Chains A and B, each alone.
Chain A
């Protein structure tokens, strides 16, 4: 599902609030601002990142350097045209037990996707509040704020926290090295 121009950009910024996509992960519902989502995909085109990095392992006979924790966070890639997205498992990112992921939110402006269980609906967030100060843990990084939708408290995801610039560069470097290794293997 690709968001059309009429769905994104200024048209989504309702004067009464912020357009958002509500999505589910396990038993929880989250929101993400609609204007940061480029498209929503199924999971059928995901590739395991481990398989894309295999040539490095086979040449050096060691795990790909630097992929340790990142390999748990980013298990898949999604290729859309000439764009590559690193897909984060929302369950892992939010410390939730595994659940049945069926959709990928592909973000605009960063090579990142988020694997989630499903899309609940689109809505306009008219009432958002900061995360209470009593919350002192990882959630301060995970959430931009909290929205109240139909008396439900819904965390609004902070998409900037999904992957750091350093993590993206690390993954891009590893994949580039992997491609170089494939090329060397083919020409030799």
Chain B
């Protein structure tokens, strides 16, 4: 399976996950997250960056459960909503890395939000499809 060959690898606790690099716009330090009252699950607040209000979507509970360690950075990624697109800040637990790999098709037992797999030396990394993950969280 040939797909995007550049990926951003990010840690989430003990494991690593990846997003296609073209979806990631920047890596940001943990800024002052602001909270507004709302009822959307796993959206923990908003950041203001360059005049833009960016929602913070904590995907750690969905990926690794409630015991994920403290998040240190935000991965700012583009998320699609139908034909629209907007930035989303995804808190991650450590440094991120850009790598080029061939993505292979997910195996049958992987979660539906896994778009593909990247084989690293010591780990097989799941490439996350943000839209499928969001739909799963919403349901």
A95 contacts across to B, CB distance below 8 A: 37, 39
B38 touches A132 (CB 8 A): no
Category for how many chain A residues contact B: 20 to 34
B138 contacts across to A, CB distance below 8 A: 136
B39 contacts across to A, CB distance below 8 A: 95, 137-139
A-B contact pairs, 19 of them (CB 8 A): A28-B37, A129-B52, A132-B55, A132-B88, A133-B86, A134-B79, A134-B86, A135-B38, A135-B55, A136-B40, A137-B39, A139-B38, A139-B40, A146-B36, A148-B48, A153-B34, A153-B36, A153-B48, A155-B37
B86 touches A139 (CB 8 A): no
Chain A-chain B contacts (Cβ-Cβ < 8 Å), number: 60
- Dominant secondary structure of chain A at its interface with chain B: loop
Considering the chains assembled together, what is the distance between the CA atoms of A60 and B37 in angstroms? Answer: 40
Interface presence of A59 (CB below 8 A): no
Considering the chains assembled together, what is the distance between the CA atoms of A134 and B40 in angstroms? Answer: 8
B37, B53, B81, B86 pick with most chain A CB within 10 angstroms = B37
- Asked if A138 meets B38 with Cβ closer than 8 Å, knowing A132-B53, A132-B54, A151-B48, the reply is yes
Given A133-B84, A153-B46, A153-B53, 14 more contacts at CB 8 Å? A28-B36, A94-B37, A95-B39, A132-B53, A134-B40, A134-B43, A134-B55, A135-B38, A137-B39, A138-B39, A146-B36, A148-B51, A153-B34, A153-B48
Residue total for B at the interface (Cβ-Cβ under 8 A): 22
Considering the chains assembled together, what is the distance between the CA atoms of A135 and B46 in angstroms? Answer: 10
Interface presence of A127 (CB below 8 A): yes
Closest 8 CB pairs of A and B: A137-B39, A134-B55, A139-B38, A133-B81, A137-B40, A132-B55, A138-B39, A94-B37
A127 contacts across to B, CB distance below 8 A: 51
**Which A residues form the contact surface with B (CB < 8 A)?**
28, 94-96, 127, 129, 132-139, 142-143, 146, 148, 151-153, 155
